[in-house]
Structure 1
Amino acid sequence: MYFKYSYQSYFMFQLIDCLTWRIQNEIDNILAKPIIPAELYRAIRDSQLVGLSGYSKEGLPVIAVGVGLSTFDKASIHYYVQSHIQMNEYRDCVILPSASKRFGRYIGTCIKVLDMTGLKFSALNQIKLLSVISTIDDLNYPEKTETYFIVNAPYIFSACWKVVKPLLQERTRKKVQVLSGSGRDELLKIMDYESLPHFCRREGSGSSRHSRNGTVGDCFSFDHSFHQELYNYIKEQAALRKPAAPIKQGSFHVDFPEHGPEDVKIAETIESEFQRLGDQNRLSHSLHELKINGD
């Protein structure tokens, strides 16, 4: 009985904290805060690779994330956080209700396909931002992802995953599936070809920018229908809420939540593992150079 009460109390406090965060940061207004000018939003899309590629056979939205090739170097951290939260809110307010109506049943979660192509040691520079984004999701958008599929994983990811996996909560660990290569064959069991992220459509590291019908197939691109619809929706909401006020340029600042001890531990473990692998890589390169010069 005590355990049940404590379990319920935990989620009650978590809900209160989430509502407080939403009120204090005016999250309900964030879909009326466009990132302008459009060129800046395009630059963010080119450096924060994420998009909607389609739907699974069960109707779950398929969110593609280019982890390895995202650089997060075209704007301040506030713009990237703003863009991420806007996509979360658009998913919850527009995409999921639309999917529920389209497939005739309630749909409240999505599938995420994480592309590790291009993952390098320089990813250490992104750990702070990625930790902020993951903490926001954990605290304020929990249980929104059904499964995380990891594809095109290089050795550096495989090495880190072995270290990090035991540190994750069991409920999160169960959701992660590391697929072989591009994961195309496995993903085609749960989604049609047209819903495959572009980086999964060919075996290996290749990708297709255009789909079969000639439209933009790269769901990361600002020119993709998902981002065009999202951006137009935000501009329309801004016009409806403040029709007489000009839209001002500037990021929508959101308070970053403090990292929990588990998040800090995971981030530190990733950093130390990347450092170790980097040292090994440099040592191997130096030995190789010595061998060449010695010959």
Structure 2
Amino acid sequence: MGNITSQGDNYFLRRFLRARQHDLKRAKEMYAASMKWRAEFGVDTILDDFHFQERDAFISLYPQGYHKTDKFGRPIYIQHLGAINYKKLEAVTTEERMIKFHVQEYERCARVIMPACSLVAGHHIDQTFAIIDVKGVGLKHLTGEVKRMLSRIMSIDQNNYPEMLGHTCIINAPSIFKFVWQAIRSFIDPKTQEKVEVCPRDFVPALLKWVDAESLPEYLGGTSKATLLDDAGPWQDPKILAQVTCPAMLSAH
């Protein structure tokens, strides 16, 4: 699969093999397409040269971010899908900048957050644990703009960051969610769908199977007082960051 680069170590390359069921030809094609995309998108320098000054305003309108680690040491990614207010987002930023921020966060996760988590856990961490809150999700969230943006994001994720998702818990699913889920499932590959768990109405026990209470935000039934704006986790510890080889973005938040 070519020379091992800073973005192509053994763990990185193995993700592409797993994503294509260890079919070497298909994995090579996927990897080559991803390297082409990285070059065209400017991904290798995105941690340094993209500045998302509207981050806090964006997160207030589309709450999302990393928050501590699960019981396996994986970073927890929380997203409140039902809170998206696309019209207000348009007043804060553009779709292209939203996509760039999304890619930048994936790069930060791969190059800063996961290495920090690996140091703390004492073993290699290369996947996340996600909590997707769909409270309030309805047909209003299936507008053309939202579907287009989510489709673009999911395509980028699946084609360029394969096998980074360990498990997803969907919480606060309303009765109409099954129709929404059917609509967005077409954007998600079958292997990823298998990692998705739709939690019961009382979701706290389900989350606590994966996450210790002190690593779960209070509003989700845990005891952590940190918010998504805080970006709380071992990647904020200067002593740990000093051991992370990538210097970019270490103090961005």
Structure 1 length-normalised TM:
0.65
Q: Secondary structure at the match of 1:155?
A: coil
Q: Which residue of 2 aligns with 1:106?
A: 124
In the alignment, structure 1 residue 25 sits paired with structure 2 residue 41: yes
Q: Report matched runs for 1:1-295 at 5 Å.
A: 7-35=23-51, 38=53, 40-72=54-86, 73=89, 74-125=92-143, 126-161=146-181, 169-181=189-201, 183-201=203-221, 215=225, 217-219=226-228, 221=229, 223-225=230-232, 234=249
| Alpha carbons of structure 1 residues 182 and 81: separation in structure 2 relative to 1, 3 Å | farther
Aligned residues: percent identity? 24
Q: Which residue of 1 aligns with 2:239?
A: none
- Which amino acid in structure 2 is aligned with residue 105 of structure 1? H
| Alpha carbons of structure 1 residues 70 and 165: separation in structure 2 relative to 1, 3 Å | closer
* Unaligned ranges ≥5, structure 1: 203-210, 238-295
Across the two proteins, how many residue pairs are aligned to each other?
Answer: 216
Shift in Å, 1:161: 3.1
Q: Give the aligned CA root-mean-square deviation in angstroms.
A: 2.9
- Which amino acid in structure 2 is aligned with residue 103 of structure 1? A
Q: Which residue of 1 aligns with 2:13?
A: none
Shift in Å, 1:164: 6.1
Q: Does structure 1 conserve the Cα–Cα contact (< 8 Å) formed by 2:76 and 2:128?
A: yes
Q: Distance in 1 between matches of 2:21 and 2:47?
A: 36
Runs of 4+ in 1 over 4 A off after TM superposition: 162-168, 223-226
Q: Does structure 1 conserve the Cα–Cα contact (< 8 Å) formed by 2:154 and 2:188?
A: no
CA radius of gyration, larger in? 1
Q: Does structure 2 conserve the Cα–Cα contact (< 8 Å) formed by 1:111 and 1:146?
A: yes
- Which amino acid in structure 1 is aligned with residue 47 of structure 2? L
Q: Which residue of 1 aligns with 2:9?
A: none
CA offsets 1:238-261 (integer angstroms, 9 cap, x no match): xxxxxxxxxxxxxxxxxxxxxxxx
Q: Does structure 1 conserve the Cα–Cα contact (< 8 Å) formed by 2:108 and 2:249?
A: no
Shift in Å, 1:183: 1.6
Pick which of 103-112 and 187-196 moved more: 187-196
